[in-house]
Structure 1
Amino acid sequence: MELILAALTAGAAAGSTETVATAIKDAYGALKNKVGSYFTPTSPAAEALDLLEKEPERAGEIVRGALLGTTAASDGELVASARRLLDLTEGESVVGKYDVRIRGSQGIQVGDRNTQHNTF
């Protein structure tokens, strides 16, 4: 779910500049349409999706909350679209730099230049 929202946010931010590549615009439009298919056209989430470029934080939270009640996170096509957009906007943003899936572990830290001390 976070990947999808991160991609939408990155695409919205990149879409607000005039020098954005056509590929990013197309990928963002495709992702936005796919996410929008999970909402009814008059729902608050659909309206928030349209406001994402202007109010990314507020609108993003509404979209995120609405997506949590759907099967969007398990939609392979939607996740692939989100990854594609993040790949295209990688130079614009560091969102999506790490794709980590860890289960049943302790003391995990993800990031650059971190220090961690664990006592178990």
Structure 2
Amino acid sequence: MTGVELILAALATGAAAGVSDSAGGAVRDAYAGLRDALRRRSSAEDDAETRELLEAREVEPGTWETRLRGRLVEAGADRDEDVLAAARLLLERADATGAQQGRYEVNADQAKGVQIGSHNTQTNTFS
């Protein structure tokens, strides 16, 4: 899994867990830690759009991911070890079994037209 895919998976997991009353405090704390790390990174880059996307509550899923993916790469968050460690911690706390089984360790660096994660929807248009 690339750095940006790891971050996006963790953010989606944390957002989903955050709306659930059954989410443990450790998951909520890890989600807050990841968002704080991303805010610090985007503050360093003076990136208001990234901070706005992190605060978004209701955004079309495809739009949110596409916009945030680009902003994370531009800000270098996908190479920031503090951000990546926070994303890994969140995924481990939210899905310890999946993390132990290597669910979040996918290498698709050169892949095209691939989605990683659960319950995705993809539309391909070839011209």
TM-score by length of 2: 0.67
Q: Which residue of 1 aligns with 2:59?
A: 55
1:11 partnered with 2:14: yes
Across the aligned residues of Structure 1 and Structure 2, the Cα RMSD in angstroms comes to 3.1
Matched with 2:74 is: 69
DSSP-derived class of the 2:41 partner = coil
Q: 1:42 to 1:26 in 2, by over 3 A?
A: same
Check the 8 A contact 2:33/2:86 in 1, yes or no: yes
Deviation at 1:61, TM superposition (A): 2.5
Contact 1:49 1:60 in 2 (8 A): no
Instruction: Give 1:35 shift.
Output: 1.0
Would the aligned equivalents of 2:42 and 2:75 in 1 still touch at CA under 8 Å? Answer: no
1:18-73 deviation line (CA, Å, top 9, x unaligned): 1210000000001011112232477222111101x433613333221111112212
Look up the SS of the partner of 2:70 in the other structure: helix
* Paired letter, 1:45: T
Give the total of aligned pairs.
103
Task: Say yes or no: does 1:99 pair with 2:105.
Answer: yes
Alignment identity in percent? 31
Letter of the 1:99 partner, please give it: E
Select the structure that is richer in helix: 2
Q: Secondary structure of 1:38's partner?
A: helix
Distance 1:30 1:77 in 2: 10
CA distance in 1 between partners of 2:60 and 2:16 (Å): 8
Instruction: Work out whether 1:20 is the aligned partner of 2:26.
Output: no
| TM-score normalised according to structure 1 size | 0.70
> What residue ranges of structure 1 are gaps of 5+ in the alignment?
105-109, 111-120
Distance 1:27 1:55 in 2: 22
Q: Which residue of 2 aligns with 1:37?
A: 40
Structure 2 residue ranges without an equivalent (≥5): 111-115, 117-127
